[in-house]
Amino acid sequence: WPGARPPKKAKVARSTARDLYSQRNGTFSQKELDFFDLDFDGRVAEEEFISTFVQWAATEHAVQKEKQVRLPRADMSWSEPDERARSSEGEL
pTM for the model: 0.61
Dihedral (Cα; 35, 36, 41, 44), 10-degree rounding: -140
Element (H, E) at 12: helix 10-24
Q: Where are the domains of the chain?
A: 15-58
Q: What are the pLDDT tens digits along the chain (92 aa)?
A: 445 555 567 788 899 999 999 998 878 999 999 999 989 998 899 999 999 999 888 888 888 887 777 778 877 777 776 665 665 555 44
Q: What is the DSSP letter of 26?
A: T
